Each structure stands twice: as structure tokens, then as C-alpha cells.
Amino acid sequence: MATFSAFADEISSDPVEQVAVLRECGIRFLDLRGAWNRNVMDLTALDLDRLGKLLADAGVGVAAIGSPIGKSTIDQPPAFELDRLKRACDIAERFHCRYIRIFSFYPPEGKTIAAFRGEVMERMAAWVAWVAREHPGLVLAHENESKIYGDLPERCVELCGRFAGPNFTACYDFGNFANDGVERPFETAWLPLKPYTGFFHMKDFKLRGHPVPMGEGDGEAERILRDAAASGWDGFMTLEPHLAQAGQFKGFSGPDLFKRAAKAARTVCEHAGMRV
């Protein structure tokens, strides 16, 4: 059985409003990306204590840390992201969640990330090895974000073939593939990535276009989720609708559009036979 989560900072910067809307939508988990207009990586110990109490009182758990790790240019020193990874792991342990979202680097200005394949692989191998050694219960979930190394299906498959295991999984984002122009995603993206996918991001786009509610775009969400359900897939499905604003480091929907997105996601899952 799958479980809904959400990037609650798409609702509001105020965690009180975040959890109120989540509960109204019947969602009992969030992916912790931001609160009080600050990224999760910038929250202080006091902030995290305050947030932890608020979530516990509301009965809302943390499914994943929505970190920006790997959403940087590959010419940054390796220590930059490794230090952020250590911080993200500490926060994950603090909130008793298993997953940390990661990315696979942007190119330096004027260059292509494919030219840095070896460096990408080396750095990500170091992350996986460090997590396996220091936090063996945690899992790095790689998202197919636009314009990073792992943006298109074939390179996502390459990363998963190299790193998939107890500390690495694929986070399948319907909308990002459509936004990147991936056609026939059931065949070209889902089937190759199906063995590696442990997480879904519930976002849909028109092909090379704009965000829309789940099922209204070109991500073939219902078809893919029907196949996943028939295979017994279970895990977190995180709403990241971006219906009001789609930015490089976060999106925004607001309470009303978020509620619309949650309803659309439930409808797609019901039609697909995916129990949530």
C-alpha cells in the first residue's frame, strides 16, 4: 500500500498552516524542504526542535528530507556537498525518516554535464559509501531533475545501475520527465526505471510546457501507477504540484491549489488501482 506525503512548503511557509492543510487533505507525512521561508538545511537546532514538536502534536511524520544536495555545479569542491550530506543525515535521524532526496549536479556555465560523467560518478559513489558506513539505515533518493546529469531516463538508469541498493533508490518524477520532453514515458522512462524506483514525486507537466494537476499532463501517470500497483509497489508518493510557481529550488501552490492537486492525485491513484 502506498502512502501520500507532500512538500508542505508548497502550501505555506508557516508550518502551522502546512499541517492544517495536510490534515484536511488526509495526508499524514511531509517531505521536509522548508519552513519559515528557510530551507531545511538552514534551520537551527531550536527551529528543528520547534518544528518537531509541532509535527508530533499534529500527528504528521517526515517521509524524507527534501535536501538540495547535488543541486549545485560540479565545479564546487567535493566537501561542499559532503558537508551538506552529513547535515541532512543528522536531520533525517532526528526526525526518524529514512529518505534524503538528492540530485546529480549541474554543469559549470557554458559546459555540458555529460562531459563530467566521471566526476559525477565519483562524487555520488562517495556519498553512497559514506551513508552506508555512517548511517546504514538511510536511503538516498535521486530525483530526475531538469538539466542535471540524471535528467533523462537513460542517465537515470545508468546511475541506478551503478548505485542501487540498500542506500540508494530512484525518485520517479512524472512532471520533470515531461518537462524535459520525454515522450512515451511509460516505455522510455518507467519500464527501465521500474526495478529501481522506491519513491514517486506526484507532479505532472504538459510536454515541454507547464505544471498541471496529476493526470492532466503528459507524464502518463495513471498508466504508470496502474502498472506499479499491479506489481505490488508500495512506498511514499510525494505531492509536489508547483501549480502557482515552479522554481529551480522550490515550487509553490498555496492552500487552495494544493487541495486541488491532492484531490487530482487521489483520483489518479483510484483510477489506477493504487491503494493509498
Q: What is the pLDDT along the chain (276 residues), one digit of tens a residue?
A: 899 999 999 999 999 999 999 999 999 999 999 999 999 999 999 999 999 999 999 999 999 999 999 999 999 999 999 999 999 999 999 999 999 999 999 999 999 999 999 999 999 999 999 999 999 999 999 999 999 999 999 999 999 999 999 999 999 999 999 999 999 999 999 999 999 999 999 999 999 889 999 999 999 999 999 999 999 999 999 999 988 765 555 667 789 999 999 999 999 999 999 999
| pLDDT value of position 218 | 98
Q: Are 52 and 86 in contact (CB under 8 A)?
A: no
Stated pTM of the model? 0.96
- Angle 18-20-23 (CA atoms, 0-180°, nearest 5)? 105
Question: Residues with Cβ < 8 Å from 254, sequence gap 6 or more?
Answer: 10, 11, 12, 243, 244
**Which domains occur in the chain, in start order?**
3-272 (3.20.20.150)
| pLDDT value of position 148 | 98
| pLDDT value of position 253 | 78
Question: Residues with Cβ < 8 Å from 272, sequence gap 6 or more?
Answer: 221, 222, 223, 225, 226, 228, 229
| pLDDT value of position 248 | 58
Alpha-carbon gap, residue 14 to 18, rounded angstroms: 6
Return the residue matching grid coordinates 512524472. Answer: 174
Interaxial angle between packed helices 78-94 and 45-58, expressed in degrees from 0 to 180 and rounded to the nearest 10: 40
Element (H, E) at 251: strand 251-252
Q: Are 168 and 208 in contact (CB under 8 A)?
A: no
Provide the 3-class DSSP secondary structure of residue 151.
helix
Burial class (CB in 10 A: 0-12, 13-18, 19+), 119: middle
| pLDDT value of position 151 | 98
For the beta carbon of residue 182, count every other beta carbon within 10 angstroms: 21
- Hey, CA dihedral for 124, 87, 42, 34, is it positive or negative? positive
Q: Are 165 and 159 in contact (CB under 8 A)?
A: no
